[in-house]
Amino acid sequence: MGLVASFLSAFFSSSKDLVSKRLAHRLDGTVSTFASFFFALPFYLVLLGGLFLWLGRPDEMPRAFLTLVFLRSVTDVFAEGMKMHAFRHGDISVVSSFFAMSPLFLLVLSPLITGDRVSPWEAVAVLLVVGGSLVLMYRPSHADWHKQRKGILLALTASVFFALNSCFDRLAVIGGDRVFTPVVAGFTMTLLSAVLILPFALWRPGGVSSMRRHWRGLSVRGFFEVAFMVGKLSASQYLTPPEVVSILRLSLVLSIIGGRVFFKEADFARRLLAGVFILAGVWIISWMHL
């Protein structure tokens, strides 16, 4: 179940990023970040309503659930904010590659925060996912590389916050109801994140009107956000944070292809070769659990 949930989450993550890239030059980064949370809430409400009708009241949530949700929401605001701004300053396949560094940070953070042990094979898989893609993507002599430095720096910083919120994801869902807990946790985290960033989004000139103009695209992204988050939280009940996030890097392969198809991004062959290393790392993790 953990592998299936991770694979589905990777697909929806890539879909969400492609929509975000399309919206990046039409919305301010802060407004786009708020919208990514706000437009997901209606889908969460529909999903929660369906679960209540189907299963009734959920079991108790894990201990310290609200504290973990708060910590996760704070780190998510920083991560998503930097991510949206990164998309404005770099190609989707380039900045997505630097988001891929979060599994590397998790090799250190996960044992300290969640207590999960990191096996040697797991470390090898993470190094393949992270190191392989970065080595193949690194082209400082390329003219476009220098133009994207700001996007790369933002993406790198965002990956640290993504690593932290993956640890809080794991702690928030362990021991809870297998079906309800991921949905309740995702909804609560998303609602709190929207509340935290709302004052900053309202200060942006034309923020509300731009969300009205692009509500269709934002709604599509909101759907993908819910599907991605529920899948990730479900996977976190079965797999460690480095394993979950490494498998989610499959979204990079899809983003590379999508960046070429939808945005005509260059250097496709080199970037796709990076995906081979990611697939090798994901295969090792899958082999460990089969």
Domain count, the chain: 1
Task: Please enumerate in sequence order all residues whose Cβ is within 8 A of that of 266, keeping only pairs 6 or more positions apart, or say none.
Answer: 144
- What pLDDT, on the 0 to 100 scale, is given for residue 96? 67
- What pLDDT, on the 0 to 100 scale, is given for residue 146? 62
CA dist., res. 98 & res. 155, Å (int): 6
- What pLDDT, on the 0 to 100 scale, is given for residue 259? 65
| Segments forming the whole domain that contains residue 104 | 2-288
Joined together, the tokens standing for residue 279 give 């697939």
- What residues of the chain score a pLDDT lower than 50? none
- What pLDDT, on the 0 to 100 scale, is given for residue 98? 75
CA dist., res. 112 & res. 108, Å (int): 7
- What pLDDT, on the 0 to 100 scale, is given for residue 47? 94
DSSP string, 167-220: HHHHHHHTTS-TTHHHHHHHHHHHHHHHHHHHHHHHTSTTHHHHHHHTHHHHHH
| pTM for this model (two decimals) | 0.81
CA dist., res. 259 & res. 17, Å (int): 10
Q: How far is CA 16 from the centre of its chain?
A: 9
